[in-house]
Structure 1
Amino acid sequence: MKWIEQFKAMYQNLNASNLASLDQFYAPQAVFIDPFHQVDGLAAIRSYFSNLYANVDSIGFDYNWQLVEANQAVIGWTMRYRHPRVNRGRTVQLEGVSRIEIAEQLIVRHQDYFDGGAMLYEHLPLLGSAVRYLKHRMVDSEVS
């Protein structure tokens, strides 16, 4: 449990200037997956986060719950971020879940699950209106 608490604290404090802290948690051959990317290897994961933090104004996490068993954990979170070209630079809030597999106290696989439309597409000019319309139509058709 202590390891998971340290992992969550690392992500709460992660920024462009302390990406080396990822090295304490990820194995050299680790895989990171989210709805937009699959990143293989620790160096590529560092590069992914370097690009991410270079493009956002702010990003932060609140952890809502977790399940830990043997060599894996599932963590529910709320992310808040601001990007100058998303949602007119206003904060976007997103619920998600991370599934983490651990070997020898290092992450070998980290997969994030979240609604990519809610994170990005719904907050872009023009495309956002279309995505929101389609989601609304899908809900209406399921209810009918």
Structure 2
Amino acid sequence: MIRAQKAVENYIAFFNSLDRLSLNRLTAVAAPNICFIDPFNKASGYDSVMAVLTHFIDNVQTPHFDVKSIAFSGNKCFVSWDFSGVLTASGKAWRFTGVSELTLDGSYRIMHHQDYWDAATHFYEKIPVIGYILRLIKRKISILK
């Protein structure tokens, strides 16, 4: 369990120091066949995941994940976190809460990373026309008015 915990801590540290210079450290904390899934992307392998992370670096300034809790179950780990950063295009702060499901391989490297967070509320609803439509739909189907 100690090796798994250290592996997850190193993976989290990788994300919290993410920039173009540190990007190649992915190979030290993740398996070659890593699968990364978030509300916008599904990438497999170092090259594809690095492309997703490069896009993230280019579009979010000062990203930070404040870890709230970590729970292990076998070779899986669940990490709850608060994210903060600044969107490069607008200069606006971006904050939301989420959970990452991580799966470790036999060498204690991350082979699967799936993020769960509400992209509708924390991203799509902030886009002018789409946001209006989504908020309208949300009001129509909500039982709490």
Sort the TM-score into its range (normalised by shorter chain): 0.7 to 0.9
Q: C-alpha deviations, 1:65-93, integer Å up to 9, x for none?
A: 111122110101111122144xx431121
Contact 2:58 2:88 in 1 (8 A): no
Q: 1:11 to 1:49 in 2, by over 3 A?
A: same
Q: Which of 47, 61, 72 is equivalent to 1:43?
A: 47
Shift of residue 33 of structure 1?
0.8
Q: Distance in 2 between matches of 1:125 and 1:59?
A: 24
Contact 1:29 1:40 in 2 (8 A): yes
Q: Which of 102, 106, 109 is equivalent to 2:109?
A: 106
Structure 2 residue 61 is matched with structure 1 residue 63: no
Structure 2 residue 113 is matched with structure 1 residue 136: no
The DSSP-based 3-state class of the residue aligned with 1:16 is coil
Superposed counterparts of 1:25-36, under 5 Å = 25-36=29-40
Paired residue type of 2:35:
V
Contact 2:41 2:52 in 1 (8 A): no
Shift of residue 29 of structure 1?
0.8
RMSD: 1.7
Q: C-alpha deviations, 1:88-125, integer Å up to 9, x for none?
A: 43112111110011112111111111111123111112
Extract unaligned runs of 5+ from structure 2: none
Q: Which of 73, 86, 97 is equivalent to 1:95?
A: 97
> How many matched pairs?
140
Q: Which of 68, 72, 75 is equivalent to 2:76?
A: 72
Q: Which of 121, 126, 140 is equivalent to 1:123?
A: 126
Shift of residue 40 of structure 1?
0.9
Q: C-alpha deviations, 1:46-77, integer Å up to 9, x for none?
A: 11101111122332111111111221101011
| Percent of matched pairs sharing the same residue | 26
Map of 1:10 onto structure 2: 14
